[in-house]
Amino acid sequence: MRLRLIVRGRVQGVWFRGWTVDQAEALGLDGWVRNRRDGDVEILVSGPDAAVGELIARCREGPPAAGVERVEVEETDETVPPGFAQRPTA
């Protein structure tokens, strides 16, 4: 399963990217996370359905300081690099 997630709400300046890397690595997922200039966080993720679903569930809560309003999910055919990395703001 390969998905792009857009996480909206109070998700920048609250350690969301670093937290996402930790969560994705613990679940054995590939992809990346980055801040967007519009204030959202974008995630590209690939892995087994159950693990990707678990990451989505965790992102709906986020780290303690976050205030997630919603997580938008869309399928993608974009190539996902191995491992899970934090990327610069786009």
Catalytic residues, by residue number, are: 17, 35
The gap from C-alpha 18 to its chain's centroid, in whole angstroms, comes to: 10
- Cα separation, 63 vs 18, whole angstroms: 9
Separation of alpha carbons 49 and 12, rounded Å: 27
Q: Which of 86, 57, 85 is nearest to 71 (CA)?
A: 57
